[in-house]
Amino acid sequence: MKRILTAGLMLLCLSVFAQTMIKLEVEGLDQNAPDQEKRSMAPDGEINIISQVSSPEIAVYLPDPQKATGAAVILCPGGAMRMLSWNSDVIKMARWLNDRGIAAIGLKYRLMKSAEFPRPADPSKPFGAPFRHEVQDFASFAKANANPSTEAEGKEIVFKAAEDAKAAILLVRAKAAEWHINPNKIGFLGFSAGGGVSIAHTVLHTDAASRPDFVAVNYGPSLIDVEVPENAPPLFIASNIDHPNVAAGCLALCMEWKKAGQNAELHLFSGGKGGYGIDQQGKPVDAWSDLFLNWLISLGIQASK
């Protein structure tokens, strides 16, 4: 098996954000190809948005060893396969997980090369879905495929990102003892397009080493046709119910899991139409994180409160 970890591995604490990440070696990926990655910074000095990613990496955030429960969550940030919402979906989420003794692994997966962010103010280049389905139209998504892209690159990049997710979980399992992680308590939490990446990995890579022990998605429907594997892990889904296309895609995804006789839990919240993170908004969706934690406890992944 190919070496999947570059030299000079550093575990970095949350008090200082990881400026150096751990590169992933993925089959068929040219490690010497130039990386055009771009980053924008948040006012607090943290990385806010990452775009133009062609070289996948992970950032490792480990909890205090005295608090560690052995559980680990690989975080797949959202951004429509054009960018990664790193601050909201990785840094803030990692802090929340670490506070509860859970290791967090931020996945910087490959993105569309043709995408530009920030998007140029050009009305001839629309940035949105070519359709609009509300939650009651979930059956419009055959095999739960809610990918809005009409371009070949927008469809193919999901498969590449799923390969990056596979490399990430293999690396985490290989380093589990060193990082004080239980190799049987490793799963994914994906936001928006990152949820689609999590599902694609789970559907495509079903061998024991690659199979996650759980998968959770926040407003992240599938971006490929879903053929639920026989050894599918438990699935947690959450979304605002009035999030156009997304809520319908999430409901369709849940139905595919249940039709296959697999474990799935779905939460659709009122009072919001778009995405969300771990920050409190004073809306019903604020409950998602406690529900996610309770779900992990019910599975035996996380220790009781």
| pLDDT tens readout for residues 246-261 | 999 999 999 999 999 9
Distances (CA, A) of 94 to 13, 181, 257: 10, 15, 27
| pLDDT tens readout for residues 249-303 | 999 999 999 999 999 999 999 998 999 999 999 999 999 999 999 999 999 999 8
Burial (CB count <10 Å: 0-12, 13-18, 19+), residue 284 = middle
Please state the pTM of the whole predicted model: 0.91
Cis peptide before 118 (omega within 30 of 0): yes
Distances (CA, A) of 235 to 238, 257, 263, 301: 10, 8, 6, 13
| pLDDT tens readout for residues 190-223 | 999 999 999 999 999 999 999 999 999 999 999 9
Gap between the Cα atoms of 164 and 107, Å rounded: 8
Closest-CA residue to 289 (of 189, 195, 169): 189
Gap between the Cα atoms of 107 and 203, Å rounded: 18
Q: Domains plus CATH for the chain?
A: 42-298 (3.40.50.1820)
Gap between the Cα atoms of 220 and 197, Å rounded: 9
Tokens standing for residue 164: 């990056």
Q: Is the pLDDT of residue 104 over 90?
A: yes
